[in-house]
Amino acid sequence: MEQLDVRTKIGLVVVSASSVSELRYPKAAPPGVAFLTSRMMLDTGGGIEALIKMESNASRAVGELVSAKVDSVAYCCTVSGALRGMEGDRAFCQELEAKWNTPITSTMLAVAEALQHLGLRKVVVTTPYQDSHHAAERTYLKDAGIEALTMQGMGFEDAEGFASVAPREIFDFAMNAWGDYA
């Protein structure tokens, strides 16, 4: 049997019905990076209340990944991070980090910090979500010192819809949104 060449293990905490992160991240990672996943149940059709209930499982999900000796954890729920706001999201990650003694970031925090590091102050944002989800994301980015010139969503309502979009379709949608600002 072939020896596994794993140098880094990254834990992914994902929404129960989501398959995007764990299927696409390995395609972008260099050899030797493995992704391990833990899920949090998100009840369908529950809105904010369902997100709050889902997040009550965050520590359990992180703990499961830490038990597998991951090197870091990515909390992959963009909307919940946006709803917490930048400082609330940072505090959320820091609390989990302190409890589990493992580096943790969230989708929104990682994006905002990467944009800041690159010195980007104006962006065009495209998402798979309905446009109604964008108010919290816009505020989060503004708090990070980043102006969203436009925010356009593909209009999907659930994880199944998010996962159904081909990479080329995502690219075309993003380029169309960006076109007016190029």
We report the CATH number of the domain holding residue 138 as: 3.40.50.12500
Structure confidence by residue, pLDDT tens digits, 75-111: 999 889 999 999 999 999 999 999 999 999 999 999 9
Q: Give the domain extent around 157.
A: 8-179
Q: Tokens 């800041």 appear where?
A: 116
Number of separate domains in the chain: 1
Tokens coding 54: 């889902």
pLDDT of residue 88: 97
Query: Considering the domain boundaries, does residue 2 fall inside one?
Result: no
pLDDT of residue 117: 98
Query: Considering the domain boundaries, does residue 3 fall inside one?
Result: no
Query: Considering the domain boundaries, does residue 1 fall inside one?
Result: no
CA atoms of 82 and 79, how far apart (whole Å): 5
The structure's pTM equals 0.88
pLDDT of residue 1: 63
Query: Considering the domain boundaries, does residue 39 fall inside one?
Result: yes
- φ, ψ dihedrals at 110, nearest 5°: -65, -45
CA 65 remoteness from chain centre: 16
Structure confidence by residue, pLDDT tens digits, 147-163: 999 999 998 877 677 77
